[in-house]
């Protein structure tokens, strides 16, 4: 175990590079997922049935296909479609499409949780649809959505580890490289210690986010309309 610790300290720069890549991937994915989620989640609350059906189809597809398959599909498939996508963009795209699907569900729930009275009052005041969303529905949905969104961020951080499988040097991959080097050069395998360290680091980051999500849920919990708090997508829905 102490050998593993020694390896971690010696290779701290490499691990930090990996951690930086993980966080960058998470931030990019969060931004893109938010964009996709807000657009699709809002569309899912419009009246025309075909729009809602399209969004439901997208959400279903990206939540039902294993995330690992989505990412490999983009990474291996993109060159065949003539779009050369480097590993980082490929993973970011795959995670964003999945994150957007989850985000859409959260946003949809958030908008629907705003009491009908609000929408009716806004319509009675003669506001046009896009103004209703912008001025009335989105701001109120935001309160409902925040706890669940923080939970989603925890999931996104965890899923960045898939980048290791297609060649992105993120945190998990950095750990793997240390193990590889040690195994081949010194014949000692620190896999137990290194992977345990990787697990603990993810735990440190994600538990902070999860706790924040739970605290936000308690504080912002019940909306003005009295609807139930939006549940964060459970990690089991990964």
Partner 1 sequence: MEFDLAYLAKQVPALRAGFLLTVQVSAIAVLLSVGIGLVGACLRVMRVPVLAQAVAAYVEFIRNTPLLVQLFFVFFGLPALGLKLSLFWSGVLALTLWAGAFQVENVRGGLAAISPGLREAARALALSRGQYLRLVGLPMAVRTGLPSMLNTCVSLVKNSAYVSAIGLQDLAGVAFDRIASDFRAFEMLAVLLVGYLALVLSLSAAVRLLEHRLQAPFRA
Partner 2 sequence: MNKTRFAAALLALGLVAGQAAAQQLPPLPQSIRDHGVLRAGVRCDQPPYGFRGSDGGFAGVEVEMARQMAAWAFGAADKIDLQCVTADNRIPQLNAQRVDLLIATLGVTPERARVIDFSDAYRWGGSDLLVKKDSPIRKLDDVRNRTVVMLRGTTQALWFDANMPGLQSLRLNTASDALQALQQDRGEAYAHDAATLIVIAARDPSLRLVGEPFAIADAAVGLRKNEPQWAAWVNAALARMKAEGLYTTWLERWVPAEIRQPYTDAFMKPRPAAR
Using CB under 8 A as the binding rule, whether residue 206 contacts partner 1 is answered as yes
Using CB under 8 A as the binding rule, whether residue 19 contacts partner 1 is answered as no
Q: What does the alpha-carbon distance between residue 89 and residue 84 come to, in Å, rounded to a whole number?
A: 10
Residue for token digits 């590889």?
A: 180
Using CB under 8 A as the binding rule, whether residue 183 contacts partner 2 is answered as yes
Among 9-17, 46-54, 74-82, 83-91, the segment contacting partner 1 (CB under 8 A): 74-82
Q: Of the two residues 80 and 130, which places its CB atom closer to partner 1 in the complex?
A: 80
Q: Residue 131 CB, nearest distance to partner 1 (Å)?
A: 38
Q: What does the alpha-carbon distance between residue 36 and residue 3 come to, in Å, rounded to a whole number?
A: 45
Confirm if 103 and 149 have CB atoms less than 8 A apart: yes
Using CB under 8 A as the binding rule, whether residue 187 contacts partner 2 is answered as yes
Among 7-15, 127-135, 137-145, 161-169, the segment contacting partner 1 (CB under 8 A): 161-169
Confirm if 104 and 61 have CB atoms less than 8 A apart: no
Q: Is the dihedral of CA 179, 181, 182, 183 positive or negative?
A: positive
Give CA separation, 232 vs 65, 107, 150, 169, 191, in Å: 20, 11, 8, 29, 33
- Contacts with 94 (C-beta within 8 Å, 6 or more apart), sequence order: 67, 70, 71, 73, 74, 75, 162
Using CB under 8 A as the binding rule, whether residue 236 contacts partner 1 is answered as yes
Q: Residue 3 CB, nearest distance to partner 2 (Å)?
A: 15
Q: Residue 77 CB, nearest distance to partner 1 (Å)?
A: 5
Q: Residue 198 CB, nearest distance to partner 2 (Å)?
A: 16
Using CB under 8 A as the binding rule, whether residue 48 contacts partner 2 is answered as no
Among 12, 53, 69, 180, contact with partner 2 (rule: CB under 8 A): 180
Rounded to the nearest 10 degrees, how much is the dihedral formed by the CA atoms of 178, 183, 188, 190?
A: 40
Confirm if 37 and 107 have CB atoms less than 8 A apart: yes
Using CB under 8 A as the binding rule, whether residue 227 contacts partner 2 is answered as no
Among 53, 131, 192, 228, contact with partner 1 (rule: CB under 8 A): 192
The site that binds partner 1 (CB under 8 A) totals a number of residues, namely 42
List residues near partner 2 by CB under 8 A: 75-76, 78-79, 84-87, 90, 166-167, 176, 179-181, 183-185, 187, 189, 191
């Amino acid at each position: 175990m102490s050998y593993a610790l020694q390896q971690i300290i010696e290779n701290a720069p490499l691990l930090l590079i990996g951690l930086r890549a993980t966080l960058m991937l998470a931030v990019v994915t969060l931004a893109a997922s938010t964009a996709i989620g807000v657009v699709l989640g809002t569309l899912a609350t419009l009246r025309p049935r075909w729009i809602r059906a399209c969004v439901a189809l997208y959400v279903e597809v990206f939540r039902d296909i294993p995330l690992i398959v989505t990412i490999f599909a983009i990474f291996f498939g993109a060159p065949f479609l003539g779009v050369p996508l480097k590993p980082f963009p490929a993973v970011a795209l795959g995670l964003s499409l999945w994150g957007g699907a989850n985000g859409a569900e959260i946003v949809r729930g958030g908008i629907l949780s705003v009491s009908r009275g609000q929408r009716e009052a806004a319509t009675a005041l003669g506001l046009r649809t896009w103004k209703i969303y912008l001025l009335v529905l989105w701001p109120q949905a935001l309160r409902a959505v925040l706890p669940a969104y923080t939970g989603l961020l925890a999931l996104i951080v965890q899923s960045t580890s898939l980048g290791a499988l297609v060649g992105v040097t993120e945190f998990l991959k950095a750990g793997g490289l240390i193990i590889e080097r040690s195994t081949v050069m010194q014949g000692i395998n620190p896999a137990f210690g290194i992977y345990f360290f990787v697990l603990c680091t993810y735990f440190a980051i994600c538990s902070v986010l999860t706790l924040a999500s739970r605290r936000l849920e308690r504080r912002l919990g019940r909306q003005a309309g009295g609807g139930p708090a939006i549940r964060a997508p459970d990690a089991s829905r990964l």
